[in-house]
Amino acid sequence: MHPAFKSIDHRPWPLPSEVWCWQQSWLDLAFLHYRVSAKTVRALLPPEVKLQEFDGSAWVGVVPFRMAGFMRRPPLDISLLRSFPELNLRTYVEVDGKPGVWFFSLDADNWPIVLVGRGVYNLPYFKADIQLEKQDDWIDCTSVRRKNDVRFKARYRPVDDPFIAQSGSFEAWATERYCLYSQSRRGDIYRVEVQHVPWPLQQAVAEIETCDLFSAAGFSPIDPTPVCHYSAGVQVVSYPKVNTTESIELGPEIVETPAVG
């Protein structure tokens, strides 16, 4: 049994009936979450995708991490895909009753991933020169996007013991997401489901020197100070993409969840 299936009871809906097709590990992550204007972010989403709020606002996460063990099923070890750093800018949405992640950008230091992510999964991947290195207790991340020099430079570290987020908490709402959404050039909305054990999280601190990701995406945070968490990581499997367009029923633009605490 793949380690991703050691726990499945925490999932908000049952596992897909299809066979999973990719495996990978997401390691040494920072979750840097910022309050953002729901009106501004909503304008950047397709009308079929409902923006979610928590504690009275929309949220956007900056997530630097290291991808490792990227491999297709049946086993096909491609050395170019094996391990590389990545940097994501994402928000939280719902489509057809399933909450998930919407990406504004995915910077990766790996050309094949950029090409496959854009061509197969309709995701806004960009080639970037990224360094993700451990320095004492800190993890330093520096990223420069090849196309337009969008830059990110920060360091982060955990400051407390690991914990599993409680249901209903902000930490669970922002991290326990088991699918992502994207839009094809035709306008169809696709879902890709993933499976992993609950995130082992730690409270964290971050020192952010440069972050051009927001301006490149067309908005800015309400508060420049993020809510910071760290995770050593999880092992993940992902499933084939599914076209959700025919089953989408339009509803309210905003899905509100309870306030923190």
Q: What is the pLDDT of residues 165-178, one digit of tens each?
A: 999 999 999 999 99
Instruction: State which H helix or E strand residue 228 sits in.
Output: strand 227-238
- Gyration radius of the chain over CA positions: 17
Q: What is the mean pLDDT of residues 252-259?
A: 43
Q: What is the pLDDT of residues 200-211, one digit of tens each?
A: 999 999 999 999
Q: What is the mean pLDDT of residues 11-16?
A: 96
Residue 249 has pLDDT above 50, yes or no: no
Instruction: Show the domains of the chain with their CATH numbers.
Output: 3-11+24-248 (2.40.400.10)
CA dist 234 and 145 (Å) reads 26
- DSSP SS3 for 44: coil
Structural tokens at position 216: 């490149």
Q: Give the pLDDT confidence score for residue 123 in this predicted structure.
A: 98
Q: What is the mean pLDDT of residues 118-122?
A: 95
CA dist 70 and 206 (Å) reads 27
Q: Give the pLDDT confidence score for residue 261 in this predicted structure.
A: 30
- If you count DSSP H runs as helices and E runs as strands, how many of each does the chain have, helices first? 4, 15
In this prediction, residue 259 has a pLDDT band, given cuts at 50, 70 and 90, of: very low
Average pLDDT over the chain reads 92
Report how far apart, in Å, the C-alpha atoms of 203 and of each of 128, 206, 228 are: 28, 10, 6
Q: What is the pLDDT of residues 14-54, one digit of tens each?
A: 999 999 999 999 999 999 999 999 999 999 999 999 999 99
Q: Judge whether 202 and 158 are in contact, CB under 8 Å.
A: yes
Q: Judge whether 249 and 97 are in contact, CB under 8 Å.
A: no
Q: Give the pLDDT confidence score for residue 258 in this predicted structure.
A: 40
Q: Give the pLDDT confidence score for residue 246 in this predicted structure.
A: 67
Q: What is the pLDDT of residues 137-156, one digit of tens each?
A: 999 999 999 989 999 999 99
CA dist 241 and 193 (Å) reads 7
Q: Give the pLDDT confidence score for residue 72 in this predicted structure.
A: 81
Q: What is the pLDDT of residues 69-114, one digit of tens each?
A: 888 876 655 555 668 999 999 999 999 999 999 999 999 999 989 9
Report how far apart, in Å, the C-alpha atoms of 180 and of each of 91, 176, 191, 215, 234 are: 10, 12, 6, 23, 17
